[in-house]
Amino acid sequence: LLMLGIETSCDDTAAAVVRGDGEILSQVVSSQEDLLVRWGGVAPKMAEEAHSLAIDQVVQKALDDANVSENDLSAVAVTVGPGLSLCLRVGVHKARKIAKSFRLPIVGVHHMEAHALVSRLVNKDLDFPFLALLISGGHNLLVLAHGLGQYVQLGTTIDDAIGEAYDKSARWLGLDIRKGGGPALEQLALEGDPNAVKFSVPMRQHKDCNFSYAGLKTQVRLAIESRNISTDDIPISSATRDDRQIRANIAASFQRVAVLHLEERCQRAVEWALKMEPSIKYFVVSGGVASNQYVRTHLNQIAEKNGLQLVCPPPRLCTDNGVMIAWTGIEHFIAGRFDDPPAVDEPDDMQYDLRPRWPLGEEYSEGRSASR
């Protein structure tokens, strides 16, 4: 079994070829770093153009690196949501074009399920059910994974995701965000005192598993302004030593509280999950922010404390990639969940079935009401 995976839901154009047994034959990612720096975020129209420019080369390179041709593939997997419609469309269009020409089945993949399931490629012993924390630029999800396509959502963010808070804070601190705001802030935080700035931990009065990062983001903004460091104009590279130390302290303090918030909610989620499924052995942490070493260390402590094993994919499989799409495609394909090849006369300008907003499983309501 040989699966091509295509991912274009946000700002990365990615493709990979993965074998049925989980062997990664190739992995290609083209990022829109320049656009992100210039526009301060993902501008859908720009992102769509960048995807359109990159997609053919990225897919071709994935095939070439894997030393296979389209004819060798068993099927094509592609992200159909959640994400930006304009961007999703580029990947789905490409996937259907290949599937149409080479008569291949198509597997439509949920981006967040892929972030979760790539952990099963990494750890072959990882069976359902398991608990997963998915932390990225747009999502902050705690889910109980019962099976393929079967998730119960224990918690989500009521405003921003943690990755968004990292990205904005990094920008405000004047960091070089070309390789991403998260990694830059994590690096600077190493030089800072995590107790220097007193940020308050979000949502402590709410005894549930939801998250909130908008307030913490604002606290960072205020901390920067009150210290009179005009970080918007002065990049960290030209800051004085004292100024750099102040910024590092803010970064470290932000990170401490941002992750403490994760820890508190995860501890509660573990308790909820074990009540529902006492057989759970694994705690999966994935999504871009899971590539952060501080995050990994602290969530490992939560896992160990509760007798669970942490499974955190290697960083390049945590951030957006084609491997997780191909692998999730494989899991669904084996389970018989795929679509037939597109009709030979399918028009190029067809309206595809995209799912820009696509919840991952149902909400856990009992926990909500029990927590009041």
Where does this chain bind ligand ATP (CB under 6 A)? Answer: 9-10, 83, 111, 136-139, 163, 166-167, 180-183, 186, 287-289, 291-292, 319-320
Q: Binders of Fe ion: how many residues, by CB under 5 A? A: 2
β-bridge partners, 31: 12
Binding test (CB under 5 A) with Fe ion, winner from 11, 164, 208, 320: 320
Q: How far is the CB of 178 from ligand ATP (least distance, A)?
A: 12
32 binds Fe ion per the rule CB under 5 A: no
Q: HSE of 259 in the Cβ direction (CA atoms, 13 Å)?
A: 24
Q: How far is the CB of 136 from Fe ion (least distance, A)?
A: 4
**CA gap 257, 156 in Å, rounded:** 18
Q: Which is nearer to Fe ion, 136 or 255 (CB)?
A: 136
Q: How far is the CB of 137 from Fe ion (least distance, A)?
A: 7
Q: Which is nearer to ligand ATP, 137 or 367 (CB)?
A: 137
**How far is CA 349 from each of CA 79, 97, 162, 341, rounded to the nearest angstrom?**
18, 11, 37, 17
Q: Which is nearer to ligand ATP, 73 or 302 (CB)?
A: 302
**How far is CA 129 from each of CA 146, 317, 358, rounded to the nearest angstrom?**
5, 21, 21
Q: Which is nearer to ligand ATP, 157 or 342 (CB)?
A: 157
Q: Which is nearer to ligand ATP, 246 or 289 (CB)?
A: 289
Mask 117-156, x = binds Fe ion (CB under 5 A)?
-------------------x--------------------
- Identify what 192 binds: Fe ion, ligand ATP, none; CB under 5 to 8 Å per kind: none
Q: Exposed/middle/buried for 368, CB within 10 Å: 0-12, 13-18, 19+?
A: middle
Catalogue the long-range contacts made by 311-315 (C-beta closer than 8 Å, 24 or more residues apart): 311/119, 311/122, 311/123, 311/126, 311/130, 311/282, 311/283, 311/284, 311/285, 312/119, 312/284, 312/285, 312/286, 313/118, 313/119, 313/121, 313/122, 313/286, 314/122, 315/291
- Identify what 181 binds: ligand ATP, Fe ion, none; CB under 5 to 8 Å per kind: ligand ATP
- Interface residue list for Fe ion (CB under 5 A): 136, 320
